[in-house]
Amino acid sequence: MSRRALVLGVTGQDGSYLAEFLLAKGYEVHGVVRRTSLSNTLRIDHLGDRLTLHYGDLSDGVSLRSIVTNVRPDEVYNLAAHSHVPASFRQPVYASLIDAVGVMTILETMRDERPGAKFYQASSSEMFGQVCETPQDENTVFHPRSPYGCAKVFGHWQTRNYREAYGMFACSGILFNHESERRGEGFVTRKITRAATRIKEGLQQKVALGNLDAARDWGYAPEYVEAMWLMLQQPVADGFVIATGETHTVREFAQEAFGLVGLDWQQHVVFDAACLRPAEVATLCGNAAKAKRVLGWEARTKFKDLVRIMVEADWRLAKQEKVIAGMQ
């Protein structure tokens, strides 16, 4: 009998790649989606009826309990989150409800209904915030600088607490920034690649960015979902940093992306103070040595290759937009 996985946040970047990965491994995959007036399943529509979807929400414990009871998963991956850091400053209560209390809700549900199932919690490098050391590993002290980061710390520690208090197989992956052609357009990397390609095709003129000196450890999302799965295949539950170990600034990302389409980024990028966070996180760089040693995992896609993958996908999209707009 195939193993059964439940993926919360299945319609997101990571959720869609994880669903594909698990299906390729022979899993029976179930996903949780929020009911909305508009369809939000674009990233997983190609999977068709290979994926079973259930309506639920981390803020609704009744729906989660019903799903877990009926599905009876062997593995649960919590990738659902209010995941946009700047937006968490505008909706701090909602971010805390989903990213903090929501984690406890699913953990309590599993403790009651599926205590023997394995659990993965998507923790975040934003928990480190104002870092006390570089690079950051599993023992680095947290100093979050956003409502999102604070909420993720809560979820991270609750995951560890349920592991230690109740003996649950509960893991946390402290994932550093990971991008792809499926990244939401509100995130700075995708904002840049969309803008660069649309500007090249004459569909827009400028793009507004904030802190160009912010430095991040950027990896490729499909590789990171493999690390999630590997954590749940270990004999003992634990937490792991997942990162490339390389840091690049937003300025470097813009320079590389615009350069790939033959444009000078400085001619098209404008500063917008509205894009700045109330509390900035200057530099994040992860040390994934433990993941390499225990999981046998390491990042394979380099920075320039990541940017190229995203630019090529968005350039195809921009050219399609141009045709639809009757400009070609």
185 catalytic, yes or no?
A: no
Question: Among 17, 27, 148, 162, which one carries the catalytic annotation?
Answer: 148
Residue 93 one-letter amino acid: V
Residue whose tokens read 């195939």: 2
Angle between helices 303-324 and 188-200 (to 10 degrees): 50
**39 given a catalytic annotation:** no
How many Å is the Cα radius of gyration of the chain?
20
C-alpha span between 40 and 222 (Å, rounded): 20
Q: Which of 108, 125, 296, 312 has the alpha carbon at shortest distance from 217?
A: 125
Catalytic annotation, pick one of 16, 63, 123, 124: 124
DSSP 213-271: T-EE--EEHHHHHHHHHHHTTSSS--EEEE--S--EEHHHHHHHHHHHTT--GGGTEEE
Q: Identify whether 124 is a catalytic site residue.
A: yes
Identify the active-site residue in 126, 179, 201, 223. 126
User: Which residue numbers are catalytic?
Assistant: 124, 126, 148
